[in-house]
Structure 1
Amino acid sequence: MVRVTETFEFAYIDVFAATPLTGAPLTLVPDADGLTDAQMRAVAREFNQSETTFVLRSPRPDATWRLRSFTPTGEEVFGAGHNALGAWLWLAASGRLGLDGGEGAFTQLIGEDILPVHVRLPDPAAPVVTMDQSAPVFGAEAADRAGLAAALGLAEDDLVPDRPARVVSTGAGHLLVPIRDRAAVDRAAPDTARLIAALRDVGEGCYLYTHDTVDPAATAYARFFNPAMGIPEDPATGTAAGPLAAVLTAGDGTVVVEQGHAMGRPSTITVTVSGPRVRISGSGLVVAQGTMMLPAAG
């Protein structure tokens, strides 16, 4: 029997969600400075969420907190999406931010990037977090449209004919694939091996989107697949919504992205773009908290 010598708190947060059990579920481990990299990866495998985020003291004076996030396969991921937004939701709800006047400005260290964060409390139970992402970087286009469609379980004519599938990054590079309509987006059934091969040289994940939305006020309806990272599908992907907004606004405007409907976990992601500045906003809820009992590192 392994003797338990360490305990760590954890929480579940539903991110980009208006009610519990919707949006993107995130496991969060605060006060994670005592965990080794190997333990963080093991904990992420144990929880088996698309991402598990660890909150640590920042080693740099210009960052309020350091965040590290891992997928179930143990891959560390970067960029400010639901992995980061969920951490700030928990920090606000737990009183860690000392929000005098109901709002405050902070910074987060993710990888080597220091990114601004703004948190406000219009409702104490539902903080609203706005985060800067990295400036957009536009990458390669997918050359084999027929192969990409087949990897997604679609026909080539399900892809919008006059718009290329292209990799764009605002902290993490994803392949953005314009699809003809919502029915085709919902019909996608990726072949894991073929999609991994299609993404190998272009981007981390694949973001299918259409302008055929559920809510007429929304801009795009999307689904996200990242099988190489152990994420068959993600119900809300801020690191993909940011690049999508950069494409759709041509550098100036606001988009609202619907995601998660096909999984029964609807989410809403708002992104504002002004030149190189991409800002993602959303809310969510802490839905569970508990204690992990771990063997000592070593």
Structure 2
Amino acid sequence: MTDSHIEFAYVDVFASVPLTGAPLTLVPDADGITDHQMRAVAREFNQSETTFILKPSRPGTTRRLRSFTPTGEEVFGAGHNALGAWLWLATSERLGLDGGLDGDGDGDGTTFSQHIGEDVLPVHVRHADGRAIVTMDQSPPVFGAVVTDRAGLAGALGLREDDLVPDRPARVVSTGAGHLLVPIRDRAAVDRAAPDAARLIAALREVGGEGCYLYTDDTVDGGASAYARFFNPAMGIWEDPATGTAAGPLAALLVADGIVTPAPTGRATVVIEQGHAMARPSRITVTVSGSRVQISGSGLVVAQGTMTLPGAGA
């Protein structure tokens, strides 16, 4: 019944200064932690996601990642939960043990392989201006169901039906996690949204969506493509300041619908603003080349510490 101790870190993802972006709690060297303990730790930290870094369990992979919400749900998409883990690995020099980052800091970087859920996806880590920048592949986009009850969806979001863009459907898109993407008329309406959790959960279940991503082209920065907010009450996430697993699907949808036009190379870059309504502004960059979706960002390790886990039978 001896207590054990685990190390943890707190990472602000998609952030350029501390206390912005998406906060992530991260537990490295998590191989000896049971599923029950992982869920309990995620509940204790009460972040939108807590990520555990494990040794690879598949040949040719660099790390295995597992992420849990405060309600104990395991999530499998490659978003800020994974990007924050690789930022920590880079800044703590763990990747150097694997033949990792280029030593001269010229920005070329190295590609690794991460195992998340059933997926094995490449992740590229490089240095620029003294900071680690991570670029991750997500799964190819899958375009799912469209909402038919627009008035009901608007009501579930605390909005009017005319707050929704009239000629663009709300639909589920997945690049690893399927989220409902809802086009909204302007930034004021996005900020005014106040979802009814029970009604939104019902609306999401009807179309097979995990979370809900409200977006508009009325951005803060004219260089961005969309301004967004994310809600996922079924997973215990009321609002998330930066959601890579939703930004990837949104970028794929904007390109597929011709809202964002690819360059002559066939590559489109989509910048999404999120977190402003939570006073944690985030900027997420997604590139789309055909069916390949990649998300990029940086961040900072802002805290590190030790947590005590109770011994068996406690």
TM range (shorter): over 0.9
Letter in 2 for 1:249: V
* Paired residue total: 295
Partner deviation per Cα, 1:20-62 (whole Å, 9 max, x = no partner): 0000000000000000000000000000000000000011121
- Match status 1:192 vs 2:197: yes
Looking at structure 2, the residues matched to 96 and 122 of structure 1 have their Cα atoms a distance apart, in angstroms, of: 18
Contact 2:214 2:230 in 1 (8 A): yes
1:4, CA displacement in angstroms? 4.8
* 1:39–1:297 contact (8 Å) kept in structure 2: no
Q: Secondary structure at the match of 1:200?
A: helix
Asked if the contact 2:102–2:126 (Cα under 8 Å) also holds between the matched residues in 1, the reply is no
Cα distance, 1:121 vs structure 2: 1.1
Work out whether residues 272 and 280 of structure 1, in 8 Å CA contact, stay in contact via their aligned partners in 2.
yes
Question: Which 10-residue stretch deviates more, 198-207 or 39-48?
Answer: 198-207
Residue 89 of structure 2 corresponds to which residue in structure 1?
Answer: 91
**SS of residue in 1 equivalent to 2:153:** helix
Match of 2:244 among 234, 238, 253: 238
Shift of the alpha carbon at 1:131? 0.2
When the two chains are superposed, the root-mean-square deviation of aligned CA atoms in Å is 1.1
Please list the CA deviations of residues 98-148 of structure 1 after superposition, one character each: whole Å capped at 9, or x if unmatched.
123332110100011110000011134x31000000000000001110000
1:223 paired with 2:223, answer no
Matched, 1:209 2:215: yes
Q: Which of 47, 52, 55 is the aligned partner of 1:54?
A: 52
Is the partner of 1:49 in helix, strand or coil?
A: coil
Q: Is the contact between residue 16 and residue 267 of structure 1 (CA under 8 Å) also seen in structure 2?
A: yes
Q: How does 1:1-298 map to 2 (within 5 A)?
A: 4-98=2-96, 99-101=101-103, 102=105, 103-124=109-130, 126-201=131-206, 202-250=208-256, 252-297=267-312
Which amino acid is 1:129 matched to? V
8 Å CA contact retained: 2:2, 2:312: no
Q: Structure 1 residues 108, 43: CA separation in 2 closer, same or farther (over 3 Å shift)?
A: same
- Gaps of at least 5 residues in structure 2 are 257-261
Question: In structure 2, what residue type is equivalent to 1:8?
Answer: I
One-letter code aligned to 1:24: A
Measure the CA separation in 1 of the matches of 2:148 and 2:60: 42
Q: Hey, what's the Cα distance between the residues in 2 that align with 1:288 and 1:76?
A: 24
Q: Which runs of 5+ in 1 are unaligned?
A: none
AA in 1 matched with 2:221: D
CA distance in 2, matches of 1:119, 1:241: 20
**Contact map agreement 1:175 1:206 (CA 8 A) in 2:** yes
Letter in 1 for 2:50: T
In 1, the alpha carbon distance for the partners of 2:294 and 2:239 equals: 23
SS of 1:100 mapped into structure 2:
coil
- Cα distance in 2 between the residues matched to 1:170 and 1:209: 17
Kindly provide the CA deviation profile for residues 205-261 of structure 1, in whole angstroms up to 9, marking residues without a partner as x: 000000000000000000000000000000000000000000111285110000000
Q: Is the 8 A contact 1:15 1:284 kept in 2?
A: yes
Moved over 2 A (4+): none
- Letter paired with 2:172: V
Aligned-pair identity (%): 80
d(CA) in 2 for partners of 1:123 and 1:55? 26
TM-score, normalised relative to structure 1: 0.97
Normalising by the residue count of structure 2, what TM-score does the alignment of the two structures yield?
Answer: 0.92
Q: C-alpha distance in 2, partners of 1:289/1:238? A: 23
Q: Which residue matches 2:259?
A: none
2: distance between equivalents of 1:136 and 1:89? 25
